[in-house]
């Protein structure tokens, strides 16, 4: 049985994905927890200002308190000031969606975005900000390419991916190709009809995050991927060089001793 703290955190994570709010019964069902305990936890979170209940006996929603804390933390870490100009430059050049993820000691977390699409189809990733990066994505592949093959299953488990979802016989050649190429490619992996390329952000051989360009496959064809790859790598290099100006970048790094051979 989850502790009160764990239950609180799971509820906050759940509500962050449900902007319309959720009832006590819906939260209890999603967490496979007793409604009485969920109701008690929700009221405690309500009293502390982390959730709101606009109508009596209505749905509970995440308040702005937690997102504001996250924005304050990221702002003081210097990520926006340091990284955003580089992300904006790449977004303008590519005319596609550019995102940055940071290694938090266990996996990758989405922390910054720049939208370069001026017209046509736009993918809005706002709901994913602050969430874990899927190991099946281009960013996840770029990250996993730095993990020794013998540690892959442990890392994937820490990322919340069960072993049956991963076919190592298929994954290992992809990771080797990514290492040789210097960046990862994902087509129709996490979102149908989307193509993404991602490069690791390194400082002195240590992985601190990944940066990616993503767009609909009909725009991100093979020719465009080849044209944008050098720009992606240039941005990854620039982010690596300026990264030590951010406390968050310096907080967690994947050392070169852990890098895959």
The CATH number of the domain holding residue 186 is 3.30.450.40
Residue 90 shares a structural domain with residue 150: yes
Provide the mean pLDDT of the chain. Answer: 82
Q: Is the pLDDT of residue 127 over 60?
A: no
Residue 191 shares a structural domain with residue 131: yes
Q: Which of 23-32, 109-118, 128-137, 143-152 is most confident? A: 23-32
Which 3 state secondary structure label does DSSP give 59? coil
Residue 55 shares a structural domain with residue 93: no
R_g (Cα) of the chain, nearest Å:
20
Residue 88 shares a structural domain with residue 198: yes
Residue 31 belongs to domain with CATH number: 1.10.10.10
Residue 113 shares a structural domain with residue 149: yes
* Count of the separate structural domains present in the chain: 2
Of 29, 48, 63, the last residue of a domain is: 63
Residue 106 shares a structural domain with residue 165: yes
Which 3 state secondary structure label does DSSP give 143? helix
Residue 104: predicted pLDDT: 75
Residue 157 shares a structural domain with residue 182: yes
The separation between the first and the last C-alpha atoms of the chain, rounded to the nearest angstrom, is 41
Q: Model-level pTM?
A: 0.68
Residue 246 shares a structural domain with residue 188: yes
Residue 40 shares a structural domain with residue 99: no
Residue 218 shares a structural domain with residue 201: yes
State CA 82 to chain mean position distance. 18
CA pair distance 104, 251, nearest whole angstrom: 8
Beta carbons of 125 and 97 less than 8 angstroms apart: yes
Q: Is the pLDDT of residue 253 over 70?
A: no
Residue 163: predicted pLDDT: 45
Residue 37 shares a structural domain with residue 134: no
User: For residue range 212-250, what is the model confidence (pLDDT) as tens digits?
Assistant: 999 999 999 999 999 999 999 999 999 988 776 555 555
Beta carbons of 142 and 184 less than 8 angstroms apart: yes
Domain hosting 34: range is 4-63
Beta carbons of 131 and 202 less than 8 angstroms apart: no
Q: Is the pLDDT of residue 78 over 60?
A: no
User: For residue range 15-64, what is the model confidence (pLDDT) as tens digits?
Assistant: 888 878 999 999 999 999 999 999 999 999 999 988 998 888 889 998 87
Residue 183: predicted pLDDT: 95
Of 15, 39, 63, the last residue of a domain is: 63
Which 3 state secondary structure label does DSSP give 216? strand
Residue 139 shares a structural domain with residue 220: yes
Q: Is the pLDDT of residue 87 over 90?
A: yes
């Amino acid at each position: 049985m989850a502790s009160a703290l764990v239950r609180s955190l799971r509820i906050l994570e759940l509500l962050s994905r449900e902007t319309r709010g959720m009832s006590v019964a819906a939260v209890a069902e999603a967490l496979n927890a007793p409604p009485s305990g969920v109701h008690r936890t929700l009221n405690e979170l309500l009293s502390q200002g982390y959730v709101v209940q606009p109508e009596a006996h209505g749905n509970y929603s995440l308040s702005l308190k937690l997102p504001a804390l996250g924005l304050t933390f990221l702002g003081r870490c210097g990520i926006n000031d340091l990284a955003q100009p580089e992300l904006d430059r790449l977004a303008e050049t590519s005319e596609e969606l550019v995102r940055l993820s940071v290694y938090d000691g266990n996996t990758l977390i989405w922390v910054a975005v720049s939208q370069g699409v001026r017209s046509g189809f736009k993918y809005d990733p706002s709901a994913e900000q602050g969430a874990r990066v899927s190991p099946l994505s281009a960013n996840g592949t770029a990250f996993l390419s730095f993990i020794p093959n013998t540690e892959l299953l442990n890392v994937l488990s820490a990322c919340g991916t069960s072993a049956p979802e991963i076919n190592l016989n298929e994954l290992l050649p992809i990771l080797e190709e990514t290492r040789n190429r210097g960046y990862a490619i994902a087509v129709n992996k996490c979102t149908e009809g989307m193509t993404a390329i991602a490069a690791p952000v390194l400082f002195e051989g240590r992985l601190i995050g990944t940066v990616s360009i993503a767009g609909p496959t009909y725009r991100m064809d093979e020719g465009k991927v080849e044209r944008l790859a050098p720009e992606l790598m240039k941005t990854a290099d620039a982010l690596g060089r300026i990264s030590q100006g951010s406390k968050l970048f310096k907080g967690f790094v994947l050392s070169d001793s852990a890098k895959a051979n």
